[in-house]
Amino acid sequence: MAQRDGVDLILEQWRRERPDLDHSPVGIVGRVSRLARELEQRLEPVYREHGLEPGWHDVLATLRRSGPPFALRPTDLTNASMLTSSGTTKRLDKLEQAGLIARSPDPADRRGTLITLTDAGRELIDALTEAHLENERRILAGLSEADQRRLADLLRKLQLGLPAQ
């Protein structure tokens, strides 16, 4: 018999209480939701070890992987990252105070701003990326490479197939 988790108990309870309904979506959505929280708890310690506050990694990593000159407009930064626009300004303020990013006028749009990774920010994200990827490898160690590819494909399919809001 397959191993059981907390979502199995939830499904059993719903089947007992409301056998007239199909509760199978809970098996996926409940697990993805719980897993997202669990993954964040396992990623944050590595960020903290490198002096980052929650949410800073995504900003620095997005700027770093954008390539030279490691600069994006705030809208492009939000679209290219795993962040929502709410809270991005506060996060950028803190990153700027820490000397990891700089804001400057956008030469292509006089009303716009560019967010640029500073040398200190680039050094930090470059050092952190190795530790971050190793941490992610440890997190995924329970899955074979084939399972990881299959899961990534299924999650992509699920995300791309979400109905518009």
Name the region of 9 (left: φ>0; alpha: ψ -120 to 50; beta: rest).
alpha
The CATH number given to 26-141 is 1.10.10.10
What per-residue confidence (pLDDT) applies to 49? 94
What per-residue confidence (pLDDT) applies to 40? 92
Confidence of residue 144 (pLDDT cuts 50, 70, 90): very high
Apex 106 CA angle, 104 and 112, nearest 5: 100
Does the pLDDT at position 106 exceed 70?
A: yes
Burial per residue of 109-123, b for 16 or more beta-carbon CB atoms within 10 angstroms, e otherwise: eeeebbbbbbeebbe
Confidence of residue 155 (pLDDT cuts 50, 70, 90): very high
What per-residue confidence (pLDDT) applies to 89? 82
Does the pLDDT at position 62 exceed 70?
A: yes
Does the pLDDT at position 48 exceed 80?
A: yes
Domain boundaries of the chain, sorted by first residue: 26-141
For the chain, what percent of residues have pLDDT higher than 70? 97
Specify the higher pLDDT residue, 43 or 87: 43
What per-residue confidence (pLDDT) applies to 87? 72
What per-residue confidence (pLDDT) applies to 141? 97
Does the pLDDT at position 53 exceed 90?
A: no
Structure tokens at 107: 């030469």
DSSP 164: P
DSSP 54: T
Instruction: Taking residues 84-100, report their average pLDDT.
Output: 87
Confidence of residue 8 (pLDDT cuts 50, 70, 90): very high
**Rounded Cα–Cα distance for residues 82 and 117 (Å):** 17
The burial of 83, by beta-carbon neighbours within 10 Å (0-12 exposed, 13-18 middle, 19 or more buried), is given as: middle
- pLDDT, mean over the chain: 92
Nearest Cα to 43, choosing from 129, 101, 121?
129
What per-residue confidence (pLDDT) applies to 82? 67
What per-residue confidence (pLDDT) applies to 78? 83
